[in-house]
Homo-oligomer: A and B are copies of this chain.
Amino acid sequence: MNFTDEFSFLASMVEDYLRDYFDALLDAIPEKKLAQSMRYSIMAGGKRIRPVLALATAKMLDVSVQDMMPVAAALEMIHTYSLIHDDLPAMDDDDTRRGKPTNHVVYGEAMAILAGDALLNEAFELLVRNSLKAGENMISALEAAHLIVNAAGRDGMIAGQVIDMESEGKTVNAETLAAMHRKKTGALLKASILAPAVYARAADGTRKALSDYADCIGIAFQIKDDILDVESSLEELGKPVGSDEKNHKSTYVALFGVEKARQMLEETTEKALNALVPFGEKAWFLKETARYIATRKK
């Protein structure tokens, strides 16, 4: 099977699960507008990268995709809540996301805040319910939940957003830039890959390898993003000023220049691939993911 097909296959499983889940919520909650607001952002066309990585890693470690699905869905709910809150007028004040009006534009600011809260809460409900149902795997399921909650919280995703806010309009050093990305996007990405390993009670060596891989693709993703921002503006506008530069955002390109950034991307991707060597052929999807991140056109 090729990478694109497998990605689409896993993403569509996630899509179906989430659609069923939020259709059922829409029936179950008397407060329809709340349910609609939650459903709107969940179904707004995300690429489902986190849940797909969770399911693919589960397959690699011989954990059933069925068992991992609630965890995968919880990851997407946490990601979605963070986007709703980040888009708020008091935060990044974004009116559109993926070509659609953001949650607060459609449902108003108050409802967007509450829908975000409710999605975070829902993720936890799913994780707790999943642990209760896990039978002899209860401890592993709980440990996976713990890992995810940690990644989402005050020393993970939320801390990353704080660093991002506090860096706005400033030139930050490489260390701060790395910490910001590691927490803001890296932490939950890493949790998506490690949760199946924890669930599978994988050996320490396995966890370490996956942890190294996750760190590398997190960094590679961000470097590539920064490079794309400059390249796409070169192509479209004929001048090398991307939206990041216009918005005074600190980027790898701004800090190191395009050439050095490209070299860093190559090295980081190489490290990601090396971390997967112990898994052999079974790691094909994670390897292709690393290659895709480095070579994608958008």
Chain A residues packing against B (C-beta within 8 Å): 25, 28-31, 33-35, 38, 81, 85, 88-91, 108-111, 113-114, 116-118, 120-122, 124-125, 127-129, 131-132, 138-139, 142-143, 145-146, 149-150, 152-155, 158-159, 161-163, 165-166, 179
Contacts and interface: CB of A to CB of B under 8 A. Distances in A.
Given A129-B146, A131-B142, A142-B142, A117 B120 contact: yes
Contact of A161 (B114, B152, B162): B114
A154 B31 contact: yes
A128 B153 contact: no
A107 to B, nearest CB: 11
Contacts of A145: 128
A163 B32 CA distance: 10
Given A113-B85, A121-B120, A153-B118, A146 B132 contact: yes
A284 B54 CA distance: 51
Given A25-B154, A30-B159, A34-B158, A125 B110 contact: no
A142 B29 CA distance: 24
A17 to B, nearest CB: 18
Contacts of A30: 159, 179
A154 B90 contact: no
Given A142-B132, A159-B30, A91 B118 contact: no
A114 B153 contact: no
Interface centre among A116, A152, A155, A163 (most CB of B within 10 A): A155
